Amino acid sequence: MNMRNQWPVLPVVAGLASGLLTGCGTETGDAGGTGTSVVMGMSDDVLATDPASGYDPGSWLLFNNVFQSLLSFPKGATEPQPEAAEECAFSDSKATVYECTLKDGLKFSNGDELTSKDVKFSFDRLLKINDPDGPAVMFPTLSKVETPDDKTVVFRLNSSDATFPSKIASGAGSIVDEDQYDAAGLRKDGQAVGSGPYKLDKFDDDEAVFSVNENYKGTAEVQNSGVTMKFFHGDQEALKKAIKENEVDIAYRGLTAGDITDVENSGGDSGIEVVEGGSAEVQHLVFNMDDPVTGKLGVRKAIAYLLDRDALIRDVYQGTATPLYSIIPAGIGGHNTAFFDTYGARPSRSKAAAALQDEGVNGKVKLTLWSTPSRYGPATDDELKAIAKQLNASGLFDADVQSVAFDQYEKDIADGKYGVYVKGWIPDYPDADNFTAPFFGKGNVLSNNYSNNAITGTLIPRTAAESDRAATEDDFGQLQDIVAKELPVLPVWQAKQYAVVRDNVYGLEYCLDASTVFRFWELSKG
């Protein structure tokens, strides 16, 4: 979590869709591969081919196609289903013992048999290496992995964690071959051995080349004969040129809002089109509760009453995001509209003025909004300037914007130097827990000096222990209502997700959903 929420993403191309599609795939995948290969361009880099290290969108894209997890998210779904496992379930009422039985006949791409020992090795290795750039941080509750026999895996947790199935269904749950990986060190050769639908044939600074894994046994039905990922290293113009000139079939992650609008306005005349999905990527304004200005509830309320989300979406993001009025985004179980209900959809100067008056604040409130130029997308500075302009137009604020390089930005936040600052978040798994516990639980990642005993002492522990996730909605609703009332953060937008494709490429709609999984196997080329 502490890495993915800091990844540089654009609301026009990154994030996670809201689960509008249905379907759970088939019980046994087609490992033969059909059709031709597909070429995809991406502005992000893949930072790791070793699942013990990568904790970024590019690396997880690779992991989700090369490695299997015990569970996976079917297209359009937010509940994990068996993948390498035949079945999995909690065996106790407290959600502290999770047991999985493997499918018969699982093999890695090199022909090695996949057994429970490989699963145990993968998790033990992840935790032992504990790479600062890796996803081991997702498993603070994992105490021990046991293997009673070759097909059975038992996870013993040190506290209730009903979201554990979603965690092991993510890229963090990738299973590696015990005979091909060092138990105490990261793989450095840029190669990967997994049991997923694809094999990694080549990986360098310019591209990653994947072919179909004939040993794969799982739920995916492969619709192509291979995929090549070309890396553009943040060069948006080069990526745009590549899709227009038919050098790539798909442009994913990296095009600007203007680029997307240009393609949409072309009406398909250019031979390319936009595929749109919803997203669970979010952005918030964060308030330092110990700051002499933003520590005052009346000031925070005034900002909430004056924020015009619709204008930001229209003027800064050109319609490539949606206004966000909740901590848990639309499409995720437990979502409500607490901020809409509390502060309304339209700005209200009179309510903002009353909030300041009730706080005893007289005169204009002098305020600096802190931004960082690219970590949360290239429009972040413009967005914060637009918010400052909205506040100043009310006559109640004297606000300006300061933009700081990300490394310094993080240090200053940790040191409590900022009163209000921006944070983006891409979830690791599509559950309300991943939008609440990291922000409002003990040791939260926001560094804003906020705590609430009802949240940390009751609501988060109770939701963590409930294996029936639908039964957590009331508790998550209470949590969001508390946050809307106390205002440690102010939700701003929820991203949409886009890919630009040649008009003979199909299946993208099955790659853009709330699971965070970009499914190579769904792509086909006519």
Q: What is the pLDDT of residues 494-506, one digit of tens each?
A: 988 889 999 999 9
Taking a C-beta distance cutoff of 8 angstroms, is the pair 270, 453 a contact? no
pLDDT at 415: 96
Is 0.75 surpassed by the pTM of this model? yes
| Long-range contacts formed by 88-93: CB under 8 A, 24+ apart | 88/165, 90/162, 90/467, 91/154
pLDDT at 267: 65
Which residue type sits at 144? Answer: K
Provide φ and ψ at 448, rounded to 5°.
-115, 15
Residues, the chain: 526
Measured between alpha carbons, how far is 84 from 100 in angstroms, rounded to an integer?
Answer: 9
pLDDT at 3: 36
Q: Give me the sign of the Cα torsion angle 166, 180, 121, 109.
A: positive
Helices (H), 363-454: 380-393, 406-414, 437-440, 453-454
Q: Which residues contact 407 (CB under 8 A, 6 or more apart)?
A: none
pLDDT at 34: 62
Measured between alpha carbons, how far is 444 from 162 in angstroms, rounded to an integer?
Answer: 19
Q: Smallest Cα–Cα separation from 257: which of 42, 498, 425, 57?
A: 498
Q: Which residues of the chain have pLDDT under 70?
A: 1-34, 267-269
